[in-house]
Amino acid sequence: MIRVWGLAWVVGLLFGWTARLPLAAAPSSPAATIPTEAFSRRPAEIAKLSPQAHLNQLRFAVRFRDQVSRLPILGIFAMPGEEIHFTVLPERDGGRYRCVAGAGNLKPQSPEGWRWAAPDQPGLYPLQVSEEDIGDTIAFNIFVMVPFDPESTALNRFQLGRFREEPYRNNPFYNRPPGFVEVTPANMDAPVAPHFRLRQFLCKQEGGFPKYLVLHETLLLKLEEILHQLGERGIQADTLHVMSGFRTPFYNAAIGNQTSYSCHLYGGAADIFVDRDGDGAMDDLDGDGESNLSDAKLLAGVVLELEQRDSLCCPGGLGIYGPKPHRGPFVHVDVRGWPARWNG
């Protein structure tokens, strides 16, 4: 059955692909120390999740910035002192809601809304919004980033390279990052979504800790929905393997990429595949006995259908890559804000 519907999507994918679009130091404070044991087990809400669990299991959602999430846990990325407004979007009348923050300045704005100002010290700060009567909780892991001087090319001896000054197409997605998440052995296993952790998005360039990255909440929401849609179709996985997440401009150039506007540089792209057996390669998704291009096309079909059907799913790039001698097939997804399609 999986092979039948997969082939139907593949036919659609083989036609209508558009031309490939261009892909797109200030002194830092030490990140707040987070005990390693804080991430040795997941919160109860996460432990109860199965890979195929409905994302709509929570009975309310929370709006922040221009995002809406009903995931039980999500990473948010903020600058020191930045204000973020959290507003509950209830699905029933009469609910009583509570917001608790471990640090920062939290002020109620209404029975269903709060304003939170980030601490000045970079680090990881939890915030939770709960429905008191039914016990549903949405937890946010808020990473306060280390400020970065865009004229610099390194942060604490970690090579970043140089970002383009002008955003591509005047799209704010391509603005130079104002700061970076400082990643250490203490926080690298922090959950940033129910089925993803911070470490999965690290740049692969050599060097010790601390490392630095940027990451878009929109990408996390999209990856979770892709995983959910796979589960709905009988392809159940604990996570998606992120072959490449964030890339610094320095690393991007070092591996021979000529694209100075790659979405990877802005924390809004991931090269992914399904790897349930942990062998480091795409699983045989269509049941033909091989890991090959057709499996990447099947995964891309899920992403394409999601973008076309779900108005909340941010459109972006979708590239299909077949196997090479040094790697298996994979799919590129990003959240640039407009559709782009290509075959790698």
CATH of 55-144, one of 3.40.50.1110, 3.90.1580.10, 3.40.50.2300, 2.60.40.10: 2.60.40.10
Q: Where are the domains of the chain?
A: 2-27+148-177+214-343, 55-144
Instruction: Tell me which CATH code domain 2-27+148-177+214-343 carries.
Output: 3.30.1380
pLDDT < 50 stretches in the chain? 1-56
Q: Which helix (H) or strand (E) holds 272?
A: strand 269-273
Dihedrals φ, ψ of 321, to 5°? Answer: -125, 125
Nearest residue to 217 via CA among 88, 93, 118, 71: 71
> pTM for the full model?
0.85
Distance CA 320, CA 246 (A): 19
CA distances from 301 to 22, 112, 188 (A): 22, 38, 31
pLDDT value at residue 57: 62
Task: Summarize pLDDT for 194-236 with one digit per residue, the tens.
Answer: 999 999 999 999 999 999 999 999 999 999 999 999 999 999 9
Q: Judge contact between 74 and 140, C-beta under 8 A.
A: yes
pLDDT value at residue 130: 96
Q: Do domains 2-27+148-177+214-343 and 55-144 have the same CATH topology?
A: no
Q: Judge contact between 298 and 252, C-beta under 8 A.
A: no
pLDDT value at residue 188: 98
Q: Where are the alpha helices (DSSP H) in 1-63?
A: 2-14, 44-47
pLDDT value at residue 21: 27
CA atoms in the 13 A half-sphere facing the CB of 67 = 22
